[in-house]
Each structure stands twice: as C-alpha cells, then as structure tokens.
Copies of this chain bind each other. A is one copy, B any other.
Amino acid sequence: MAAKVRRAGRRADALSKERIVEAAIEILDRDGESALTFRALAARLSTGSGAIYWHVADKNDLLDAATDAVISRVMTEDVGHEAPREAIRTVAVGVFDAIDAHPWVGTQLAREPWQPAMVHIFEGIGAQLQALGVAEGAQFNSASALVSYLLGLAAQYAAVMQLVPRETDRSAFLAAIASRWAQHDPAKYPFVHQIAAQLPEHDDREQFLAGIDLFLAGIDAGRA
C-alpha cells in the first residue's frame, strides 16, 4: 500500500495495477468470483502473492478497480445524439449487458454503492434525467430510484449467472426454482404460483427494460 511513482524505462513485464486488474478480470470472467485469490493471481502473473500488495491496497481495492474498469468502458459510449428517453435505455442496457458478460460486476456494484464505478452510472443516468426536464428537486430521487432498480436486478441476475453460466442450464435452473415455488400452498401463495409458471421462459432483458419503462412512465406522470 503505497503511492506508485511512474517512471520511464520499466520492464515491459513489470507488475502494475493495470496488469493486475486485467489479470483479475480474466480470472473472474473465466472461473468466477470464488476463483479470484491472491495466490491464483500471483501464479497467473508469475510473481509472489505479496508483490500484489505493493500495487493494490487489498482485495476490496482490487475488486473496485476491476468493476470500475468494466463500467467506465460501458459509460464512454456516446449517447449525445439520442433522445433522453432512448439514452437512458441505452445506458441501462449497457450496464445490463456488462453484467451479463461479467456477472461478478453485479455482485460488486450492489455490495459497494460508494465505489468509483457508481459515479459513472449516476452521471450517465442523471444527465439524461436533466435533459428529460425532471425538476431539479426530483432529480436525486429519480436517479437514485433508477440506479437502485438497476443494481437490484443486476445483483439477482448475477447471482443466478454465477451458479449457472450457460443459457441452457439457466432455464433448467429457473424451472427447478419454479417447481419449488409451485410447491407452496396455492391458497396462501396464489401470486407465487402464477409467476412460477412464467419463470422458466421469461426473458430477463425484456423484463429489465419493462421495469425501466415503468420508471420513465412514472417520471412522465410526475411532470404532467
């Protein structure tokens, strides 16, 4: 844990926070959250496990940096040419797709709301709310609600993805949950019964966008 001074003439394969974060992302993507250990990371970088601590404060710092690397890439997409409503959907879908590609990002975003990646998400959503003409006093609440929704679904989606990575396993897994939910007393849990039937074949992405639209409709209603 020390500030790193950058200088010219370093070896090409020298350790750096960027190289560590990059390696961490590869491990997380290929083998999941539980596979990211300092030992595995050190082995992959052909170094000692203690060396990593020179560039990274601790595991949390590493996960924050990895999450920020993924999210800031998404948030550099230019949405300036789109209408605010479409731009919000684009930003939201961008985050959704990033979590689809990197499930661990969903877990991490929900776990640390104050991390750097959140700044990008808040700015991306908030700027469009301003463009949409939401009253200044309502902007914080609206942005917060949208971001909470985004993260809540992200965390749940990531949790399922983490257990069953492939598309085919996924619907089988959801079918298993559905049949467990369907075992509850239909008299006491009529609604759970009803959605259990729809659970295995529902489209997550479509449902996600439906939620965004519900929000936008609510915001619209507030302005009228």
**Interface check A51, CB cutoff 8 A:** no
A156 touches B145 (CB 8 A): no
Q: Flag if A111 contacts B159 (CB, 8 Å).
A: yes
Identify A181's interface contact among B119, B184, B195, CB under 8 A: B119
Which residues of the other chain, B, contact A190 by a CB distance below 8 angstroms?
A: 123, 127
| Measured CA separation A131–B110 after assembly (Å) | 31
When chains A and B are docked, how far (Å) is the Cα of A188 from the Cα of B119? 11
Q: Are the C-beta atoms of B216 and A160 separated by less than 8 Å?
A: no
Complexed CA–CA distance, A143 and B202 (Å): 14
CB neighbours of A194 from chain B (8 A): 126, 136, 139-140
Contacts of A126 in B (CB 8 A): 191-192, 194-195
Which residue of B is nearest A121, CB measured? B192
Cβ contact within 8 Å between A155 and B151: yes
Is the beta-carbon distance between A191 and B110 smaller than 8 angstroms? no
Kindly list chain B residues whose C-beta atoms are within 8 Å of the C-beta of A122.
191-192, 195
A71–B194 Cα distance when bound, in Å, is 21
Q: Chain B residues with Cβ under 8 A from A221's Cβ?
A: 217-218, 220-221
When distances are taken between beta carbons in the complex, the residues of chain B under 8 Å from A211 are 141, 144-145, 148-149
Which B residues are CB-close (under 8 A) to A101?
Answer: none
A114-B159, A214-B218, A220-B221 given; name 10 further pairs at CB < 8 Å: A113-B156, A122-B195, A140-B198, A141-B207, A143-B195, A144-B153, A145-B214, A151-B156, A214-B215, A215-B215
Interface residues of A, Cβ cutoff 8 Å to B: 107, 110-114, 119, 122-123, 126-127, 129-130, 136, 138-145, 147-156, 159-160, 177, 180-181, 184, 188-192, 194-195, 198, 202, 207, 210-211, 213-222
